Amino acid sequence: MPKIKNFVLQDTRHIPPFNQPARDLNVLNKPLFLAQRDVLSPYCEPETPIAHFNEIPPTEGETIIYRDNLYFDAPMIDEILRRGREQARRDAKLGLFRAYRVAFSPEDKAFTTYAVPLSRSITAIYKRSATGRLLRDGQGKEEVDHYEVDFWYYPDGYRFEKTVIPLEVDTGWYNYGYYAVPDYMSDQRDLEHFVTKRTLIGIENWVHLFFANVPLGIFSIGHRFEVKQNQSNFYLLKILFQALIEQKQVLGCSELVHVGKNCTIDPTAIIHGPTFIGDNCTIGPGVVIQNCHIGNNVNIDQGVQLMLSVIGDSCFLPFRAALYLTVLMEHCIVAQNTCLQMCVIGRGTFIGAGNTFTDFNLLPKSIEVQAIDGKLEKVGQKVLGGCVGHNCRIGSGMVVMPGRQIDSDVMLFATHSRRIIRKNISFEESDHHGLPGKISALHRRKYPRLEETKGEEQFLEEW
């Protein structure tokens, strides 16, 4: 079968606080553009970057067009192509030759919980009466018929004048309460996440990056493993047999814990899967790792605890650091006795000793996060940590409140006036600006904001 033609709409908007386009940010230790390329390579020709639809020439044969800030996995692409081809066959029998835009139902809890909040490129299509009047629900809110995302499928070639209709797919979501908590943290007495069989989410905020890596990444990988073992007795027996041969606990056998080349793992370390460990890693005594994705050249020292987290290449975690549902990009250091909960940390960042990133407001105040257009918006999460940009230096002994973000290239010292971070910190508020010029110059800015760079224009086309 001929390969599908592939056009990629470039989204040059910078994602705060990283000050980089989404395509350059990591999901499960891969830059987004590389994750897209790896998923599509079995189906598609090499991608052609475009800035506008009018740059696309007429094509023959299957064609897809998508925005480069979308994270999707192979099962989602399989589902889009399957449903698109089925719909195209039905339309052809009726003499219709149309194109399709991927859409999701408002009943898809995973999509509406993780992808819709803080998004500015998802289009909500509202229900209307026969006379064209918007319909409203019992609370007076406009009823959504479906949500459309920036992913198009042309079954028999791209033509600008073609009629485009929604192609509804779903994530195959499952409601998963992952631990019980007191009722003041959750009305259901369980903190819930929605794991998926198939994933698609647009990265327009650091919160989307957290969702793509953790509930839609680590959690969904674990869920798919559970589904596979429950549906296949042969696979379950294979796991049990592998654990018996290796004389390990079932969750620690090589069927569930992938270890790369040239790794050194202390025998007292406890590692439960599904876990992926890259090449040339060192894991010290007393380390506990549960359901994590760890990159290459990572050094994890004595007593570190990692749960449901993503650790980027060449990171260093000294003794007794603790990460829970947290994402580290490459070349980070998290020093001893620091606790990160539900956080995202940019590349090349140092987090000093004894810092605590909290993830829950003691008072029942909704967590709000700054969207890409600068507006504060509720994220619909009662529990959420903070975010630190690229190339930051965070001193020891600080407490960061939930949902706060620290801009790239910021340096913070713990002082009596600023030991608790209660608000977002911009680059202009970095403590290194108050140092003498020669000392301040030692900390070089690497990630300026888009409007501070020359020769680049912000782009988001409307359709």
Instruction: Report pLDDT for 127.
Output: 87
Instruction: Report pLDDT for 415.
Output: 84
* Residue 274, preceding peptide bond in cis (omega within 30° of 0): yes
pLDDT tens, residue order, the chain (463 aa): 789 999 999 999 999 999 999 999 999 999 999 999 999 999 999 999 999 988 999 999 999 999 999 999 999 999 999 999 999 999 999 999 999 999 999 999 999 999 999 999 999 999 888 777 877 776 667 889 999 999 999 999 998 888 999 999 999 998 876 666 666 666 655 677 899 999 999 999 999 999 999 999 999 988 888 888 888 888 889 889 888 998 888 888 988 999 999 999 999 999 998 999 999 999 999 999 999 999 999 999 999 999 999 999 999 999 899 999 999 999 999 999 999 999 999 999 999 999 999 998 888 788 899 999 889 999 988 889 999 999 999 999 999 999 999 999 999 998 887 889 999 999 999 999 999 988 999 999 999 988 887 644 444 444 4
CATH number for 5-172: choose from 3.30.1140, 3.30.70, 3.10.620, 3.90.550: 3.90.550
Which of these, 108, 139, 142, lies nearest to 128 by C-alpha position? 142
Instruction: Report pLDDT for 17.
Output: 96
How far is the C-alpha of 428 from the C-alpha of 448, rounded, in Å?
11
Structure token digits, residue 452: 């501070």
Is there a contact between 92 and 176 (Cβ–Cβ < 8 Å)?
no
The answer to whether the 5-172 and 256-452 domains have the same CATH topology is no
Which of these, 201, 170, 152, 167, lies nearest to 106 by C-alpha position? 170
Residues 263-278 have pLDDT tens digits of 999 999 999 989 999 9
Structure token digits, residue 451: 């409007």
Instruction: Report pLDDT for 189.
Output: 54
Query: Domain 256-452, what fold?
Result: UDP N-Acetylglucosamine Acyltransferase; domain 1 (2.160.10)
Query: Residue ranges of the domains in the chain?
Result: 5-172, 256-452
Structure token digits, residue 90: 């039905």
Which of these, 76, 71, 88, lies nearest to 34 by C-alpha position? 71
Q: What is the DSSP string of 20-55?
A: B-GGGSEETTEEHHHHHHHHHTTTBPPPEEESSGGG
Q: Which residues contact 235 (CB under 8 A, 6 or more apart)?
A: 228, 229
